[in-house]
Amino acid sequence: MGKRHALAAGALRAKFDLLVFVDSDSFLEPEAVREVVQPFCDPKMGAVSGRTE
């Protein structure tokens, strides 16, 4: 099972409305998850991506 299949399997088993996927080599600022999740207060929002370098 590759990464894509593992992510899909995890998403199917999720018990929450929002999922945040982060790669093992990613570094997040302390407020990163809060900033990415906040736009979902708008019911029209479907997806959000953080800034990458």
pLDDT per position as a tens digit, 9-18? 999 999 998 8
Three-state SS string across the chain, please? CCHHHHHHHHHHHCCCCCCCCCCCCCCCCCCHHHHHHHHHHCCCCCCCCCCCC
Sequence ranges of the domains in the chain: 16-53
Identity of the amino acid at 15 = K
Model pLDDT, residue 50: 75
pLDDT per position as a tens digit, 1-53? 799 999 999 999 999 988 888 888 888 889 988 998 999 999 999 888 877 77
Is 0.75 topped by the overall pTM?
Answer: no
